[in-house]
Amino acid sequence: MAVAVSPVVGAGLPRTVGASLRVPVLTGERVEYANLDHAAGAPCLEQVRDAVDELLPWCASVHRGAGFASQVSTRVYEQAREAVRRFLGARDSDSVVFTRNTTDALNLLARALPRRTAVVLFDTEHHAALLPWRGPHVRRLRTPGDPAAAVLELDRALREAPVGPRLVVVTGASNVTGEVWPVAEVVRVARRRGARVVLDAAQLAPHRPIDLRALDVDYAVVSGHKLYAPFGAGALVGRSDWLRAAEPYLVGGGATARVTDRGGRLGVSWSNGPERHEAGTPNVVGAHALATACDVLARHWAQTLEHERVLLARLRDGLRSVPGVAELSLFGAGHDRVGVVGFTVGAQDVGYLAAALSAEHGIGVRDGAFCAHVAVQRLAGGPALRASIGLGTTEEHVDRFVEALRRLVTEGSRFEYELREGRWAPVDDVRPLPPFLR
């Protein structure tokens, strides 16, 4: 999808809650927090916070409530489905099922597959997309070092798959490297081989517009906490037939159309709508927050794309100047990517570096395997660091991070650290906790 871009970095961007947050460092000072961990969880947008505050006085249990607040909450909840549908370019006939997150959504879909569905995926997926599929008809492919080769490997696997329903699982953007997968090419191969496609859009959706109709993708999953909404809300969006035919993901109130007592035996008719898989009192606040974030992001793609393009280039250029840094890549340094960079720093302990960046410089990055152990082990040979940018990232954050990392690598840390329960921490951590934790 073509999107015009603005030449002014940061101009007109939505603001995030905590954009001016100042955190303590070991010197006793407070510095502006440089959040370079957006890939794990993006801060809430101010518009999302305001929308939640506006809803809270009206918040009530949705569906079937006669009270006015319940009717308002029901309207909010159902309108949230339409906002998510618009954001992802989904078809009018697609179901929008609210879940807790991407992991929950993919587990739901895995439970809804017809019997003997052949599932094909690549082994460098995030655990949310790698682990839910079970049984003898699941084939995990080793990810080649070239996207065209990946598509050919997928085609071969689908040719060899058993006759019957087929599903291809593909990520939109790598959780480890930020590289964008060739989704359109994957879909074309899947269609030729009679397969459906589910897109793990958790890492792509905050950075790029998605149009499921244009891509001809059957299902997509997203997480609110990566889309500048609070944790605990996500969605599975896609074709309704498999979802209507499946047993409910959870059983209980809300998923039922009718329950009867037939001589001591319960008779149950399940709903055929998205609520079939939403048993229990739903998270109306989370759904409203997610929908608001989707609407806000959709109005700011031009600014977002330019902001991230400039900052990602600045980040990658800066990292190349740090001794020992090796950027992780599935498809090569020149491949298209979103604002996520995974890397190693020679023989340096990445957990120690992450701890020192936080304690001495007020910088948040991620270390470890990023819930993608196979990918990180293959690309890094062990734990790695990941820096990821978003709407709240500034040029100063990127520059401070690069300079702090360079100083740690060339000069070492100014303070002493020790391992505590497997994590590095300052020996004398004088940083005060916020008042609500004291």
Q: What's the distance, Cα to Cα, between the start and end of the chain in Å? A: 49
Q: Tell me the C-alpha distance between 218 and 22, whole Å.
A: 43
Sequential pLDDT tens for the chain (438 residues): 333 333 344 568 999 999 999 999 999 999 999 999 999 999 999 999 999 999 999 999 999 889 999 999 999 999 999 999 999 999 999 999 999 999 999 999 999 999 999 999 999 999 999 999 998 999 999 999 999 999 999 999 999 999 999 999 999 999 999 999 999 999 999 999 999 999 999 999 999 999 999 999 999 999 999 999 999 999 999 999 999 999 999 999 999 999 999 888 999 999 999 999 999 999 999 999 999 999 999 999 999 999 999 999 999 999 999 999 999 999 999 999 999 999 999 999 999 999 999 999 999 999 999 999 999 999 999 999 999 999 999 999 999 999 999 999 999 999 999 999 999 999 999 999 999 997
Q: Which CATH superfamily is domain 22-44+301-437 in?
A: Aspartate Aminotransferase, domain 1 (3.90.1150.10)
Catalytic positions: 371
- Domain residue limits, the chain: 22-44+301-437, 47-298
Contact 214, 189 (CB under 8 A): no
Provide the CATH topology of domain 47-298: Aspartate Aminotransferase; domain 2 (3.40.640)
- One DSSP character per residue, 157-213 reads HHHHSPSS-EEEEEESB-TTT-BBP-HHHHHHHHHHTT-EEEEE-TTTTTTS---HH
Q: Tell me the C-alpha distance between 259 and 214, whole Å.
A: 41
Which of 74, 91, 132 lies closest to 278, judged by CA? 74
8-state DSSP, 44: P
Q: Tell me the C-alpha distance between 237 and 205, whole Å.
A: 13
Q: Tell me the C-alpha distance between 60 and 335, whole Å.
A: 47
CA distances from 419 to 40, 208, 355, 427 (A): 23, 39, 10, 9
Q: Tell me the C-alpha distance between 155 and 165, whole Å.
A: 15
In this prediction the pTM is 0.95
